[in-house]
Amino acid sequence: MRSIALILVAVPALAVPSLAANCDSLASLKIPGATITLAQKVEAGAFAPPSGDAAAFKNLPAFCRVAATLKPSSDSEIQIEVWLPETAMWNTKFLANGNGGWTGSINYTSLANALRLGFATTMTDTGHQGGSASFAVNHPDKLTDFAYRAVHEMTTAAKEFVKAYYGDYPKVSYWNGCSQGGRQGLTEAQLFPRDFDGIVAGAPANAWVHMMAQILWVAQSVHNDEAAYIPPSKYPLIHNAIMQACDAQDHVRDGVLEDPTRCKFDPRTLRCKATGPADCLTAPQVDALLRIYSGPINPRTRESIFPGFEPGSEMGWDEFVAGPQPTPFAVDEFRYVVFKKPGWDYRTLDFGRDVDTADQQDNGLLNATDPNLKTFFELGGKILQYHGWNDQLIAPLSSVDYYDSVLKTRGPKARDSYRLFMVPGMKHCRGGEGTDNFDMLSVIQQWVENGKAPDRVEASRIVDGKVVRTRPLCAYPQIAVYRGKGSTDDTQNFTCKNK
């Protein structure tokens, strides 16, 4: 339920209706398709996760813990948890948390972080257990649950628990997720525009099929001919050459490219003049490097399928895609969802025929690329999207492509509801050499509740527990530009300007 900013300001943070239930009574709440398996008060500091470090949760306040199983279809088995802070601690808001990869589990750390901030909060296992897509074989309903239904059903049920416990629905509702969680957030805006008032979507895997193809394109590039394999020991060679050529383009030598698309480094300059030296690449390795930066190409149409990785991202490549084996995350899409053959070999993927087949089969199920967000915007919804320029799993220009498609469809006024922030030097969702610490959740609350659209977001880089650099993240297409005076590690010496 959406609320205008004036109403939100007028309602004190702790002013909630008095018709609240006690936690135990939620076990008898009737929600269609839901079986409540737990409704229990957890005393302050008493939560113990099923596995992991219980000490990490010792500082949690008391809360009402609810668990339920949702069955929107006969083959559904969607597990959710809803954590409800005590009435005096509730900020009258609701926060749902996103997943990662094919993950079928509930992250208690995400719930705990939201609870500490005063949110009524929820998360789902998306309808299966484990991190593989093997659940999808011969289970189309489970795939539908994973694609979009689990999150929507979770959100609907969780709000009913909120109403039953506090006596009213939340005043404002937020989504927060990265990677798969980013895709889930954009899916919600596209398919269920009334579920959330504000969505934080980090590094979204929304062009699902083509993203998977790009990961396997890289894997084929370095493994179809093992002479083309680039060992991690060669990554510093490539990375240092790129930094030498392009780091100063933003007038600050800091080991980070503010806008990697401006770097026109030619990998062929690294080609060996003789065989085998450690400070150069062989001809097959150079060819593979060019393919990694270019991204997959349809061999019949010569059209781009998905962007490639950006210059500067090399130090993270072995983590997911260019190492000895590609991440199972991408292989699973074609092995279990498209071809339903557990023994399928990624080296056989045809980037024309097979990708077309995957697109036709998906038919908007996992792909979340619809740029027409008309209803979500008209209802007052806001989207904050972010993506690291050094992302080594989801090529960052995919976020730019989707953002541009929304502006092309809805016009420049879309910026009143949708902002994209590209993060220089950041890897997938976090990490890397850039300023990867920032608080998008606070920013979107200011936007949704107080109308403060963000032009810049303050970010920091932390090493060994100490802040070593602060820098603004600028609303795309602007970038952070050094003013020419003062420390280049201090955000106040930077301004946001167009490229």
The reply to whether 417 belongs to the active site is no
Is 266 part of the annotated catalytic residue set? Answer: no
215 and 393 in contact (C-beta within 8 Å)?
yes
On the CB side of 338, how many CA atoms lie within 13 Å of its CA?
Answer: 28
**Quick one: tokens of 56?**
């990490």
Separation of alpha carbons 140 and 122, rounded Å: 25
Residue from 195, 287, 391, 436 carrying the catalytic annotation = 391
DSSP code of residue 494 = E
Q: Which of 3, 132, 173, 179 is catalytic?
A: 179
Kindly give the interhelix angle for 180-191 and 150-166, rounded to the nearest 10 degrees. Answer: 80
Among residues 152, 223, 239, 428, which one is catalytic?
Answer: 428
- Of 259, 312, 246, nearest in space to 498 by CA: 259
Distances (CA, A) of 79 to 84, 120, 209, 261, 415: 17, 17, 26, 42, 36
Cα gap 239→453, rounded to integer Å: 36
| Residue 391 annotated among the catalytic residues of the structure | yes
> Measured between alpha carbons, how far is 436 from 444 in angstroms, rounded to an integer?
17
For residue 274, the 8-state DSSP code is: S
User: What is the spatial distance between Cα 163 and Cα 92, in angstroms, rounded to a whole number?
Assistant: 11
How are beta strands 382-388 and 198-202 bridged, if at all?
Answer: parallel
* Cα–Cα distance measured from residue 372 to residue 187, given in angstroms and rounded to the nearest whole number: 12
Active site residues: 179, 391, 428
